[in-house]
Amino acid sequence: HIDRQLKGYEGSSKLDYSGALMIATIKLSSYGFNVMDGRQQDKNTLTEHNKRMMIDQYPSMIEFYGWICFFGGFLVGPTCEYMDYYRFTNYFFISSERKIPPYKATIQKIIWFVITAFIVAFVGQKYNYFKMLNDDFTRLPLYTKLMVYAITGRVQHCKYGSIWLLAEGACVLSGFGYNGIKNGKHQWNRLDNVYWYNLEMGQSLKTLAGYWNVGANNWLKNYTSIKSSNAMVITYAISSMWHGFQPGYYWMLTAYGIYQVLAGRVRSLVRPLVMSACDPSVPLRGWKTLYDITCYISSHLLVAFLMAPFELLHISRSLKAWSSIYYIHIWLYFIVWGFLLVFGQTLSSIQNQRRVRVLEADNNIKNEIISYKQ
């Protein structure tokens, strides 16, 4: 990361090797924790994941460097745990699963790679964050700018996702991607780094983050998360440092954690009001649909806004891109928090009143039944 900083405004124009080092960082840090877990006397304190990944015997040099340099995810991921790699190399090739042909799943990955790469190559020429630095973009109407942001955010998904799809295809072809049978079908998603349908249809920031860069997310969850009221923001700050030292990474990922805290608060106060008070799993027709649409649009637009610093990297560029939309996402952040501070207690009271009315109605029905029987 330091070398990349020293090479100027745009960094090196040659092959960027920081991606491979980022994957190595995930592997080596998780390896250290797994060795420590293997030496621990009381295994009951470990999570199920830690128990499955703990290392109680050092690998040979060939095994260790074979895992570190595994070609499927060496450059940009997806990453994998050592014990998963060990089980694959030691047991997969002597099991009946090795006879399951991976070609159909591999071809599917390649097809999706071609589609996403096509989008990046052709649509990305017009829809990218650097275009937002032009004066022509600032003169567009606000609704047009918002549409451009929304499309650009999708293109950025394809930019990173296309590379991961190609790497996932290599993992599937090697057999490492096999993940058992579900609903009668062979699954090849062990090393999937993006769950595209869940990502594109997600209605919350938490969902969008959870189905993107899954390998890094699992590393953050299993090895870097801490128990704290600010754990989410701290985790995103660690993710920023892992990505690099450019300010854009910190702006995007730390802000994402801050917005996710707000989104969780909104969900806890508003979502129960669009669900049936009698049965919280039953939505109120119309209101729940409106809630879902609002969450979908706001979440995806916000991600598109926050991805600008991640791509532009520098403060001056990011501010110019955000100024073109009048910092609308920042204003809305404070407006929504202000609304919750003023009316949050009222919303909680409404929820309680609905529960009380339901309980009273249930008691009245029970009393009527008892009276009828008497």
Alpha helices by DSSP H, listed for 76-224, are 82-91, 103-122, 135-138, 142-174, 196-201, 205-210, 214-219
112-154, pLDDT tens digit by residue? Answer: 999 999 999 999 999 999 999 998 999 999 999 999 999 999 9
Pick from 133, 168, 194: which residue ends a domain? 194
Residue 182: φ, ψ to 5°: -140, 130
Residue 361 pLDDT class (50, 70, 90 cuts): low
Query: CA end-to-end span of the chain, whole Å?
Result: 80
For 320-356, the pLDDT digits (tens) are 999 999 999 999 999 999 999 998 888 888 887 877 7
Mean pLDDT, all residues of the chain: 86
Q: Which of 81, 99, 117 is the last residue of a domain?
A: 99
Specify if 67 maps to a domain. Answer: yes
pLDDT surpasses 60 at 373? no
Radius of gyration of the chain (CA): 25
Q: In terms of domains, do 136 and 262 share one? A: no
Give the up-direction half-sphere exposure of residue 191: CA atoms within 13 A in the CB hemisphere.
Answer: 32
200-206 contacts at long range (C-beta below 8 A, 24 or more positions apart): 200/154, 200/157, 201/296, 202/296, 202/299, 202/300, 203/292, 203/295, 203/296, 203/299, 204/263, 204/267, 204/295, 204/299, 205/256, 205/259, 205/260, 205/263, 205/299, 205/302, 205/303, 206/260, 206/263, 206/264
- Which one is predicted more confidently, 14 or 359? 359
Q: Residue 171 is part of which domain span? A: 101-194
Q: Tell me if 186 sits within 8 A of 100, measured CB to CB.
A: yes
374 and 284 housed in the same domain? yes
Pick from 78, 99, 120: which residue ends a domain?
Answer: 99
Determine the Cα–Cα distance for residues 348 and 355; give it in Å rounded to an integer: 11
Shared-domain flag, residues 65 and 115 = no
Q: Do 82 and 112 share a domain, yes or no?
A: no
Please determine, for residue 368, whether its predicted confidence score (pLDDT) is greater than 80: no
- Which residues make Cβ contacts (< 8 Å) with residue 111, sequence separation at least 6? none
pLDDT over threshold 70, residue 229: no
Rounded to an integer, the average pLDDT of 2-10 is 63
**Closest to 352 (Cα-Cα) out of 232, 293, 288, 272:** 272
C-alpha to C-alpha distance for 233 and 258, rounded to whole angstroms: 6
Compute the distance between CA of residue 134 and CA of residue 357 in angstroms, rounded to an integer: 57
**What residues contact 196, with CB distance under 8 A and at least 6 apart?**
112, 161
Q: What residues have CB less than 8 Å from 159, skipping those under 6 apart?
A: 120, 124
| Residues 257, 237 contacting (CB under 8 angstroms) | yes
Is the per-residue pLDDT at 360 higher than 90?
no
Residues 4 and 114 in one domain: no
Residue 170 has what pLDDT? 92
Q: For the whole model, what pTM was predicted? A: 0.86
CA-to-CA distance for 284 and 274, rounded, in angstroms?
5
Give the total number of structural domains in the chain. Answer: 3
> Can you tell me the distance from the alpha carbon of 246 to that of 350, in angstroms, rounded to the nearest whole number?
45
